[in-house]
Amino acid sequence: MAEPHTVTRLFLVRHGATTATEEDRFSGSTAAELSEQGRWQAARLGERLSRQHITAIYASPLSRALETARIVAGHCGLEPVARDGLREIGHGHWEGMKRDDVEREFASEYEAWQADPFTFAPVGGESGVAVLARALPVIRELVTAHSGGQVVVVSHKATLRLVLSSLLAFAVGGTFLSVQYGEMIWHFMSLSTALALLARVEVPVVEKREAQQVAVTPAFAR
């Protein structure tokens, strides 16, 4: 007889809007506070998740993610726990710069990053591989610690994109995502389009002798 699965649901949340987002700046490891719109978004998400019987809430230690988590947690009667592995990818000497300025001042570097964001990193920054090396162990730990529960994870665009790409076997490219599901392969111009189709996917996570499933549910604050 097949071993029954324990389903753990992860609500993967991107922090609310910031002024850096509005200005299209690279703000991986640098401080970028939530805007009023971002706080409003977090509050609306908190209201929604308050009906989901959330077990625990974890967040990146960066202020924009931690504030989002605190606002959401306030609606769920919980306290968020910061985990360093969930922080945003570091952009090195691009930090704080507008995207247009990076394209102009570091043209060859930006082109290489666009072509291969998984293994390439700007000077002083992180590659996608490095982000997964710290983020995936945290995800595995949370699934194991809260088996059968519903856990909110508040992080950042690039980190969540890389985690989801790994869990769902997305091929991460500079301009599109390739998803193999069954015998079909789909190509998407954006992660949000892919997630609209694969809104709830169960991913096997093996821990010791216990078979588990993770229900991945995107719940972006914006």
List of domains in the chain: 6-218 (3.40.50.1240)
Whether 101 shows a pLDDT value over 90: the answer reads yes
**Average pLDDT value for the chain:** 79
Whether 106 shows a pLDDT value over 80: the answer reads yes
Of residues 6 and 151, more confidence is placed in: 151
Would you state the structure tokens that stand for residue 189, as one six-digit string?
């111009």
Of residues 110 and 179, more confidence is placed in: 110
Please report, rounded to a whole number, the percentage of residues in the chain having pLDDT higher than 90: 49
Q: Under a CB-based contact definition with an 8 Å cutoff, are residues 169 and 180 in contact?
A: yes
pLDDT per residue over 10-37, tens digit each? 888 999 988 877 788 888 888 889 999 9
pLDDT, residue 215, reads 52
Sign of CA dihedral 63, 59, 136, 138: positive
Helix, strand or coil for residue 153?
strand
Whether 110 shows a pLDDT value over 80: the answer reads yes
Confidence (pTM): 0.78
pLDDT per residue over 60-94, tens digit each? 999 999 999 999 999 999 999 999 999 999 999 99
Q: Which DSSP helix (H) or strand (E) runs through 14?
A: strand 6-14
Whether 41 shows a pLDDT value over 80: the answer reads yes
Can you tell me the distance from the alpha carbon of 3 to that of 34, in angstroms, rounded to the nearest whole number?
Answer: 45
Q: Where are the beta strands (DSSP E) in 15-72?
A: 56-59
